[in-house]
Structure 1
Amino acid sequence: MISYPELKYTFNTTTQRLIHQGASVELSYLENERLKRLCINQDKVVEIGNILKELWHDNSSYNRNSLDIFIHKLRKLLSDDKRIRILNMKDVGYKLTVNI
């Protein structure tokens, strides 16, 4: 369980649920794994190549596009609070920042 009480977000990695102000959203396995990795490595760059190898055991451009879609959806789910951002570190990876 990863919780940001100041932001009113709770992320339950076991049930794959993101809860914000009482509303619960069920994440897919891959969305759950991506968000978990970003939270664990908060303020650090998570490299694209590592993500692709972990999820798909392949870093093809098709899988890269799929990853971009997952990140877009996660950004949308977290968009209610501008203090949470998933930054794109061009051609390197992604970084989750939380400004409390």
Structure 2
Amino acid sequence: MDKKRRILLVEDDEALGYLLSEYLKMKNFDVTWAKNGEEGLKHSQSSSFDLGIFDIMMPKRDGFSLAEKIKKDFPNFPFIFLSAKSLKVDVLKGFYLGAVDYLKKPIDEEELVIRIENLLNRLTPSVKNENAPELIQIGNFSFNTINQELSFKEETITLTVKESELLSFLLERKNKLSNHKDILIKIWGKNDYFNKKSLNVFITRLRKYLERDPAIKIENVHNKGYILRHKED
């Protein structure tokens, strides 16, 4: 029997929280329901989860603050926001904090389950690619694809799942164009406006990491995509 995927649901609305918790359990997920941000934080620090689902407007600690804290402690913990806050600035902030998806209320329970399953399948590869190198050298950086660690001299940065996937994608096409659409479909699962904005945020993060080596640059090709260039000696 397959191991149940563990989900941390943080939702202060009693009716919605109960509905989602019971529905996800019915779909064979192991669900821990926290009713405010502080309670959600305590659960995240005492147990391991495959995915977090966070409301944003909550008492004691809001969803943004919760996500920011969890990301500092557990950089590879994937989470999505499920919120009534639908302004572009809120959506972009959610992705900037590292969310793998941002869903707007109200949402159909069946759609939520499909999205969760698709996300978890992408985040947890079922078969290891034996041909994929575990350690990639680019300029003065070493990229450990298994541990999601980017090392520069004595400094090591632990990447998020999305950062690691995006860097791997760009490295596979080093010095070649990576189209927006190809990146979004492969990593985000959907080519749309908000995911494209999220992609821009993650590109900015990678540029900040890679700027330590001036021979490496991620170039923007207007309306087409990105090229990771390495000027080799």
**TM tier, smaller:** over 0.9
- For residue 162 of structure 2, what is the aligned residue in structure 1? 30
Distance in 1, matches of 2:151 and 2:213, equals: 13
The counterpart of 1:66, out of the listed 186, 198, 204, is 198
- For residue 136 of structure 2, what is the aligned residue in structure 1? 2
- For residue 48 of structure 1, what is the aligned residue in structure 2? 180
Q: Which runs of 5+ in 1 are unaligned?
A: none
Whether contact under 8 Å (2:221, 2:227) holds in the other structure is yes
Give RMSD over aligned pairs.
0.9
Question: So what's the TM-score if we normalise by structure 2?
Answer: 0.41
SS in structure 2 at match of 1:82: coil
More strand, by proportion: 1
Distance in 2, matches of 1:14 and 1:26, equals: 11
- For residue 83 of structure 1, what is the aligned residue in structure 2? 215
| Deviation for aligned residue 1:44 | 0.5
Question: So what's the TM-score if we normalise by structure 1?
Answer: 0.93
Identify which range, 53-62 or 27-36, moves more after superposition.
53-62
Q: Which runs of 5+ in 2 are unaligned?
A: 1-134
| Deviation for aligned residue 1:58 | 1.2
Amino acid at match of 1:8: N
| Deviation for aligned residue 1:45 | 0.4
Distance in 1, matches of 2:217 and 2:140, equals: 15
- Report runs of 4+ in structure 1 exceeding 6 Å deviation: none
Amino acid at match of 1:97: R
| Deviation for aligned residue 1:81 | 1.4
Whether contact under 8 Å (2:175, 2:228) holds in the other structure is yes
Distance in 2, matches of 1:80 and 1:88, equals: 19
- The aligned length equals 98
Larger RCO (CA within 8 A; separation ≥ 6): 1
- Once the two structures are superposed, residues 59-96 of structure 1 have per-residue CA deviations (whole angstroms, 9 ceiling, x without a partner) of 11110000000000000000111110000111111101
| Deviation for aligned residue 1:8 | 2.2
Amino acid at match of 2:185: K
